[in-house]
Amino acid sequence: MVESSFILHQHTPALQSVDPRGLSVASILLCRSSIDHEPEMRISQASLDVAGRLVSRWDPRLWADRAPANLSVIHSLSGQVLASDSVDAGWRVSLAGEAGQVLEAWDARGVARRTGYDALLRSTEVFEDVHCVERLLYGGPDSTAYNQCGQLIRHDDPAGTLLDEAFGLSGSVIRQTRRFLHSANEPDWPESLTGRDALLEPGDGETTCWQYSPLNESTQQTDGQGNVRFLGYTVAGQLKDSRLQLNGQAEQVLVSAIQYDAQGRVVSETAGNSVISTAWYDTEDGRLKELNATRSNGQVLQDLRYGYDPVGNVIRVEDRAQPTVFKGNQRIDSVSTYHYDTLYQLIEATGRESAVVNYGPVFPGFQSPADPTRLANYTQTYRYDAGGNLQQLTHTGAQSHSRTLVTARYSNRSLPVINDHIPDEAEIAAAFDANGNLLALQAGQDLSWDRRNQLQQVRPVVRDNAADDSERYIYDASGQRLRKVRTTQAKAVTHIADVRYLPGLEVRTDSATGETLHVVVAQAGRNNVRVLHWQTGKPDTLENDQIRYTLNDHLGSGTLELDLQGQLISQESYYPFGGTSWWAGRNAIEANYKTVRYSGKERDATGLYYYGLRYYSPWLQRWINPDPEGAVDGLSLYRMVRNNPVSMTDVEGLAPLFGFEKEVDDARLKAIRALEKTRALLDVESDKNVPEVMNRFFRRHDAELKYRWKNDIDKVLRVARETAIRNVEITESDEPGKTVTASLDMKRYSGFARYLSATTRAALNSASPGELKREMAEVRKDYRDERGEKFLMVHRRVWGEARRAAGKSYSAQVLIHEFSHAALDTMDYVYGKAKEGQDPTPLFELAEGKVDTGAATLGKHYRADTRVTPPELAYNNADSFAAAVMFVKRSASKKPAERALYKRFF
């Protein structure tokens, strides 16, 4: 029996230990999964240098064993990370130039990377060991015809050559051609253009074109096969509809009537097959309550209902569109339940599964048609070690089984127990390379990795006296997969299946079937659309130009596929950690063309899911190599979404988003939109509301102050845009002085500021969007520790209280307030009356010099300094700055509630 959450969590506070400087050096968590057990103390330890910089970190498992630190770091005198050593990912060393640009870097596998720059400090070449893997060419002063001056116009990378041939006035690429390498092997680019062209496939390549609105919104995209996608927007800049015109055919609607709530979330949309999808959110906490999909005749296809615990963990999901069946003395409901320990790790899950054997990377048996009587109930339980590594999965159901993993003593590298053989330390060490990359998926399935620690090749079949079967992956300079080549051996014949990923298009060919398939890919509101166009080799049972609409759940997992008439193509359900528990459809051949599944990611033939920056193994419940960003999500670099896969999602394979964390990130996005809107209104000379707002908050509205405010908003915007959920530390402390809605740790922010400085240098040294993208990728890699600093502290309980009392828009104002501290060094002199209808009266009085020194709204930094005028004090007051931004934005809002709040005070 699973105990109530309330009893389980009693007497399990989170504690922080600080040194005399006020810097955190240890955190203490109490973990238990049953009230019958005493809580286990989990201590994470940190060591800091005299400058307050992180030097070493231990997770609870290694600290308890007095083992070497999970992560050790060496800084330069300027604070830049020179070297790091991770027990999971190995060591890294880098050498920076005078401007902070990385000249050379080395890693534990012995890979040496060298980057060359021109006189403007733009990257021109990248060598890995002795091979030139990238060359970059820029437009000169004479390249004016297509706005190419100073732009990156040719980039030879590991996948081939990218040509940015034309640019718009805003610098956006409007014509781009991708040419692939003739060979799937890694290139060694020569200096001459002729020599480089000789390494490419013959032909002109695949060209993609874009058109933009005056607001730089993409309104039209023509892919490499001449298919055109049209995008329409609302006056607020949100996607309104999407249409597609296949090459030589009539235009058709993919999705229309997309509607949004006040938080910018999609709440309703109508697909091209007339299926209406709706989402309902709780008005109190903003959590998703229902996801529905209904045919035009009223038939319900999807009716997902969600239940949560008080902190936002999903504890129940019910699909009321699916029937309840009785079989084998079981009542089988379409209900899944989830239970957690006090660290919010999933420890038990129940649901439905196929009644046939199903574990490991294989799919369960396909049902055609769907037959609910061939399902059974299951229960899974999970046990983890102190480092968050899965130790045992126990599955009880139609086919019961268990899986046990063994973790290395001094790292988080783990291997499964196979046929009762328990791997020892030597076997675990031999199963990974020096950078922590797994070397075999299963027995006989070897993995190879490129010099950038990207999965390069899987050999599913290894032969002693003949060529192996293999699947090879090829990536561009930013690390995104552009090509997948599968080679299989038949009788004296080698078959090749090739997938090429282009903007909005996948080109799939298979020599074994003679198939050439173009898949047009479009995101349509909450859901996805894929159009299958066969040039050759179309299966006889399928129609050409088939449009497939995918309905997703709260994680983005594809649960239902529908055709143009709204009829079911396939349906699929998943175990919590991503394995398929059952799937069905009307035709096995048709259903097998589904490639995007759990969490909206592509599942390869290996059973691995490709997330964009690394690969995930759902049967092992962990990543197969360490996080490329480092310890941005804890010190276990293989752990998947903090062992909470039902409540958290991972977009790229870096760090997850949880319910409350996503709420904070949504507030950050709202803050950005408010800053951008106010910034734009400051440029509108005829706007009469801006001077009124400025007068009330700052007692000035002259051109000089307006110019200053615009520049300062730009600075705050930069911090807001660069801040991510990895920089947020959620606290529940009741310690005096720490029960504020949000606060900024300036000591931690100083490290993040070094990362921002590096991005500034990259922007100044980059002459085009393409080069900037590459430079930013390098900065994120070289400053990953600084980029991950948790400087924004948010108190869960107080945040919720403030949101309920002052409204959701106040959350955005809170973050603008904190970001102004970082960007402008603003002070806390006086606060507005947030819980009294966001009343800014105390802020007006500050500008007028009428401060009530006994008022509760007085900030701790207030002092009546006669050398500083009241308007200057007001301008440097964080709450005045943030509230002024929000009220300018409200003055132009089309939402009645926003306008009413503005008119209440102006």
| Residue 274 tokens, joined | 């007339």
Mean pLDDT of 39-51: 92
Going from the C-alpha of 333 to that of each of 161, 364, 623, the distances in angstroms are 53, 19, 32
628 lies in the same domain as 541: yes
388 lies in the same domain as 371: yes
| Residue 160 tokens, joined | 């081939």
Lowest model confidence (mean pLDDT) among 427-431, 749-753, 765-769: 765-769
Residue type, 463: R
Last residue of a domain, one of 43, 70, 97: 70
Percent of the chain at pLDDT > 90 equals 58
686 lies in the same domain as 546: no
Confidence of residue 736 (pLDDT cuts 50, 70, 90): very low
332 lies in the same domain as 369: yes
Q: What is the DSSP string of 284-334?
A: TT--EEEEEEE-TTS-EEEEEEEEE-TTS-EEEEEETTSPPEEETTEEE-S
Does 744 reside within a domain? no
Selection from 765, 752, 787, 727 nearest residue 102 by Cα: 765
Residue type, 160: G
Q: For residues 376 and 329, what is the distance between their CA atoms, to the nearest angstrom?
A: 10
pLDDT digits (tens, 9 = 90+) for 299-321: 999 999 999 998 889 999 999 99
pLDDT digits (tens, 9 = 90+) for 166-189: 998 877 899 999 999 999 899 999
Q: What is the DSSP string of 442-472?
A: ETTEEEEE-TTS-EEEEEEE--SSSPPEEEE
pLDDT digits (tens, 9 = 90+) for 571-601: 999 999 999 999 999 999 999 999 999 999 9
665 lies in the same domain as 629: no
Q: Can you give the pLDDT at residue 124?
A: 93
β-pairing verdict for 792-795 and 728-731: parallel
What residue has token string 């009587």? Answer: 373
Q: Can you give the pLDDT at residue 867?
A: 63
How many domains is the chain built from? 3
Q: Can you give the pLDDT at residue 862?
A: 62
Mean pLDDT of 434-455: 95
Q: What is the CATH number of the domain that holds 673?
A: 3.40.390
Q: Are 86 and 108 in contact (CB under 8 A)?
A: no
651 lies in the same domain as 665: no
Mean pLDDT of 267-285: 92
Does 776 reside within a domain? no
Does 395 reside within a domain? yes
Q: What is the CATH number of the domain that holds 592?
A: 2.180.10.10
Q: Is 893 helix (H, G, I), strand (E, B) or coil?
A: coil
Does 575 reside within a domain? yes
Q: Are 890 and 899 in contact (CB under 8 A)?
A: yes
Task: Give yes or no for residue 296 having a pLDDT over 50.
Answer: yes
Selection from 822, 821, 798, 824 nearest residue 811 by Cα: 798
pLDDT digits (tens, 9 = 90+) for 200-254: 999 999 999 999 888 778 899 999 999 999 999 888 778 899 999 999 899 999 9
437 lies in the same domain as 566: yes
- Lay out the sheet containing 609-610: strands in order across: 602-603, 609-610, 615-617, 622-623
Q: Can you give the pLDDT at residue 87?
A: 97
pLDDT digits (tens, 9 = 90+) for 5-43: 678 888 888 888 888 877 789 999 999 998 888 999 999
Task: Give yes or no for residue 611 having a pLDDT over 90.
Answer: yes
* CA angle at 569 for the pair 565 and 574, rounded to the nearest 5°: 135
Q: For residues 449 and 440, what is the distance between their CA atoms, to the nearest angstrom?
A: 11
Q: For residues 92 and 108, what is the distance between their CA atoms, to the nearest angstrom?
A: 7
Q: For residues 582 and 352, what is the distance between their CA atoms, to the nearest angstrom?
A: 8
The residue ranking higher by pLDDT, 75 or 660, is 75
Does 170 reside within a domain? no
Q: Can you give the pLDDT at residue 854?
A: 60
Q: Exposed, middle or buried, 51 (CB in 10 Å: 0-12/13-18/19+)?
A: exposed
Q: Can you give the pLDDT at residue 415?
A: 97
Q: For residues 572 and 193, what is the distance between their CA atoms, to the nearest angstrom?
A: 49
652 lies in the same domain as 702: no
The residue ranking higher by pLDDT, 354 or 99, is 354
Last residue of a domain, one of 604, 631, 657: 657
Mean pLDDT of 820-826: 92
622 lies in the same domain as 673: no
Last residue of a domain, one of 636, 657, 678: 657
- 426's CB contacts (< 8 A; 6+ apart) are none
214 lies in the same domain as 258: yes
Residue type, 391: Q
Task: Give yes or no for residue 769 having a pLDDT over 70.
Answer: no
pLDDT digits (tens, 9 = 90+) for 690-722: 999 999 999 998 989 999 999 999 999 999 988
Share of the chain residues as helix, strand and coil, in percent rounded to the nearest 5? 20, 40, 40
Q: Are 24 and 31 in contact (CB under 8 A)?
A: no
Lowest model confidence (mean pLDDT) among 275-279, 786-790, 801-805: 801-805
Does 750 reside within a domain? no
Does 753 reside within a domain? no
The residue ranking higher by pLDDT, 467 or 551, is 551
Name the H helices within 723-851: 746-765, 769-782, 784-787, 796-806, 809-824, 841-848
Selection from 397, 395, 418, 415 nearest residue 405 by Cα: 415
**Is the pTM value of this prediction over 0.85?**
no
Residue 244's DSSP bridge partners are 229, 252
Selection from 70, 89, 92 nearest residue 81 by Cα: 92
What residue has token string 């001459």? Answer: 192
Q: Are 59 and 636 in contact (CB under 8 A)?
A: yes
534 lies in the same domain as 481: yes
583 lies in the same domain as 686: no
Percent of the chain at pLDDT > 70 equals 94
β-pairing verdict for 54-58 and 40-48: antiparallel
The average confidence (pLDDT) of the chain is 89
Residue type, 421: H
| Residue 174 tokens, joined | 């409007």
Task: Give yes or no for residue 513 having a pLDDT over 80.
Answer: yes
Q: What is the DSSP string of 483-545?
A: EEEEEEEETTEEEEEEEEEETTEEEEEETTTTEEEEEEEEEETTEEEEEEEEEE---TTS-TT
Does 386 reside within a domain? yes
Within a 10 A sphere around the Cβ of 77, how many other Cβ atoms? 7
Structural domain containing residue 63: 1-70
Q: Are 245 and 520 in contact (CB under 8 A)?
A: no
